[in-house]
Amino acid sequence: MEASRAVSTAAQVESSSSGAMAVDAAGGVEKPRFEALTPSEMSGGKPQFRKVPVPQHRFAPLKKAWMDIYTPVYEHMKIDIRMNLKARRVELKTRKDTPDVSNLQKCADFVHAFMLGFDIADAVALLRLDDLYVDSFEIKDVKTLRGEHLSRAIGRLSGKGGKTKYAIENSTRTRIVIADTKIHILGSFVNIKVARDSLCSLILGSPAGKVYSKLRAVSARLAERY
């Protein structure tokens, strides 16, 4: 009797488990779907901050162009921005309605590019495009120059009326700022490399004509690639 009961209970368990398997196989269980976390939820509800120092010589340009900086950062990127006069820096903070956590770093890069000397129209591209960067180096990183040799190198970089600088910018699709012995380049990774190679050649003493011909060849290769 006990053996027959055990067989019957085992048969019932098998039938019930096979029924559950059938329900699962038929798609009765749905996969969970989770919505994307907001930037405030990623940081545990705490806002994230970025602080960009303001050099002394950029106070007047910043005051003049403040609304041009404030509008895209606050209205389009949904990032809070303020000027801390006591600490002499621009402070950025995420909001609850910030759509993407990367917007904070983009805005910090945008403000930093303006502090380096780039125009608002050029720096605002950092907010719209993802593959733009700012690269900086000094003339002494390429070659140690002093006195008149350094002055002549800076003159070769700019050219007469800025002709050489504009030629490099237009052919490589970059923007260049020459601030004393520091050079800042805004553009994509490949274009920055081409512009930096041309500037390094000028620093080392290459004539402008030779750099132009090399630029034309490199620009033609880049145009074929894309």
181 in Cβ contact with 140 (< 8 Å): yes
Domain ranges of the chain: 45-130, 131-225
Q: What is the pLDDT along the chain (226 residues), one digit of tens a residue?
A: 445 554 455 555 444 444 444 444 555 677 888 887 776 677 676 888 899 999 999 999 999 999 999 999 998 898 999 999 999 999 999 888 888 888 899 999 999 999 999 999 999 999 988 889 999 999 888 888 888 888 888 888 888 888 889 989 988 889 999 988 899 999 999 899 999 999 999 988 888 888 888 888 887 887 776 5
137 in Cβ contact with 157 (< 8 Å): no
159 in Cβ contact with 205 (< 8 Å): no
Domain 131-225, second-level architecture: 2-Layer Sandwich (3.30)
Please report the pLDDT score of residue 18 as a whole number: 47
Please report the pLDDT score of residue 7 as a whole number: 47
120 in Cβ contact with 69 (< 8 Å): yes
Q: Any idea which fold 45-130 has?
A: Ribosomal Protein S8; Chain: A, domain 1 (3.30.1370)
Longest dimension (CA), the chain: 112
CATH topology agreement for domains 45-130 and 131-225: yes
* Among 199, 189, 183, residue whose Cα is nearest residue 222: 189
168: Cα separation from own chain's centroid: 22
